[in-house]
Amino acid sequence: MSKVCTIAWVHGVVQGVGFRYSTQREAVELGLTGYARNMDDGSVEVVACGEAEQVDKLVAWLKAGGPRSARVDKVLTEPHQPGREYVNFGIRY
Protein backbone atom coordinates (compact mmCIF):
# COMPACT_ATOMS: atom_id res chain seq x y z
CA MET A 1 0.00 0.00 0.00
CA SER A 2 1.49 3.31 -1.06
CA LYS A 3 0.87 6.58 0.70
CA VAL A 4 0.26 9.58 -1.53
CA CYS A 5 -0.82 13.20 -1.22
CA THR A 6 -2.91 15.01 -3.79
CA ILE A 7 -3.88 18.67 -3.91
CA ALA A 8 -7.14 19.57 -5.64
CA TRP A 9 -8.81 22.84 -6.52
CA VAL A 10 -12.57 22.55 -6.82
CA HIS A 11 -14.32 25.24 -8.88
CA GLY A 12 -18.03 26.05 -9.12
CA VAL A 13 -20.61 26.86 -6.45
CA VAL A 14 -18.55 25.35 -3.63
CA GLN A 15 -18.45 28.05 -0.93
CA GLY A 16 -21.28 28.67 1.51
CA VAL A 17 -22.88 25.28 0.78
CA GLY A 18 -21.18 23.08 3.41
CA PHE A 19 -18.60 21.82 0.91
CA ARG A 20 -15.62 21.81 3.29
CA TYR A 21 -17.58 20.01 6.00
CA SER A 22 -18.90 17.37 3.60
CA THR A 23 -15.38 16.90 2.22
CA GLN A 24 -14.05 16.49 5.75
CA ARG A 25 -16.71 13.85 6.52
CA GLU A 26 -15.87 11.91 3.33
CA ALA A 27 -12.13 12.13 3.96
CA VAL A 28 -12.44 10.92 7.56
CA GLU A 29 -14.58 7.96 6.43
CA LEU A 30 -11.83 7.10 3.92
CA GLY A 31 -9.11 7.37 6.57
CA LEU A 32 -7.39 10.35 4.95
CA THR A 33 -5.53 13.30 6.43
CA GLY A 34 -5.13 16.83 5.08
CA TYR A 35 -7.49 19.79 4.91
CA ALA A 36 -10.10 21.73 2.95
CA ARG A 37 -10.15 25.53 2.76
CA ASN A 38 -11.93 28.27 0.87
CA MET A 39 -9.81 30.27 -1.56
CA ASP A 40 -10.18 33.95 -2.43
CA ASP A 41 -11.21 33.12 -6.02
CA GLY A 42 -14.31 31.20 -4.82
CA SER A 43 -12.79 27.75 -5.19
CA VAL A 44 -12.03 25.21 -2.46
CA GLU A 45 -8.53 23.77 -2.03
CA VAL A 46 -8.37 20.19 -0.79
CA VAL A 47 -5.20 18.38 0.30
CA ALA A 48 -5.74 14.65 0.81
CA CYS A 49 -3.08 12.23 2.05
CA GLY A 50 -3.35 8.50 2.60
CA GLU A 51 -3.57 5.23 0.70
CA ALA A 52 -3.60 5.91 -3.05
CA GLU A 53 -6.90 4.05 -3.56
CA GLN A 54 -8.64 6.07 -0.83
CA VAL A 55 -7.29 9.39 -2.15
CA ASP A 56 -8.59 8.42 -5.61
CA LYS A 57 -12.02 7.74 -4.09
CA LEU A 58 -12.12 11.22 -2.53
CA VAL A 59 -11.06 12.85 -5.83
CA ALA A 60 -13.79 10.89 -7.63
CA TRP A 61 -16.31 12.12 -5.02
CA LEU A 62 -15.14 15.72 -5.58
CA LYS A 63 -15.47 15.33 -9.37
CA ALA A 64 -18.92 13.78 -8.97
CA GLY A 65 -20.08 17.05 -7.38
CA GLY A 66 -19.53 16.71 -3.65
CA PRO A 67 -22.58 17.52 -1.49
CA ARG A 68 -25.97 17.96 -3.15
CA SER A 69 -26.03 21.69 -2.38
CA ALA A 70 -22.85 22.30 -4.41
CA ARG A 71 -22.27 22.61 -8.14
CA VAL A 72 -18.82 21.49 -9.25
CA ASP A 73 -17.71 22.83 -12.62
CA LYS A 74 -14.15 21.48 -12.62
CA VAL A 75 -11.58 19.84 -10.38
CA LEU A 76 -7.86 20.31 -11.00
CA THR A 77 -5.49 17.91 -9.23
CA GLU A 78 -1.77 17.34 -8.97
CA PRO A 79 0.55 15.28 -6.76
CA HIS A 80 1.55 17.13 -3.60
CA GLN A 81 4.53 16.94 -1.26
CA PRO A 82 3.40 18.65 1.95
CA GLY A 83 5.97 20.27 4.17
CA ARG A 84 4.52 18.45 7.16
CA GLU A 85 2.56 15.33 7.99
CA TYR A 86 -1.12 15.81 8.81
CA VAL A 87 -2.58 13.98 11.80
CA ASN A 88 -6.23 14.45 10.82
CA PHE A 89 -8.42 16.04 8.14
CA GLY A 90 -9.14 19.62 9.11
CA ILE A 91 -10.98 22.65 7.86
CA ARG A 92 -8.87 25.75 7.37
CA TYR A 93 -10.04 29.33 7.36
71 is catalytic: no
Radius of gyration of the chain (CA): 12
Q: Out of 20, 25, 37, 84, which one is annotated catalytic? A: 20
Residue among 25, 37, 38, 92 flagged as catalytic: 38
44 forms beta bridges with 10, 38
Burial bucket for residue 83 (CB in 10 Å: 0-12, 13-18, 19+): exposed
Spatial separation of the C-alpha atoms in residues 49 and 26, rounded to whole Å: 13
In angstroms, the CA 47 to CA 35 distance is: 5
The reply to whether 20 belongs to the active site is yes
Q: Which residues are part of the catalytic machinery?
A: 20, 38
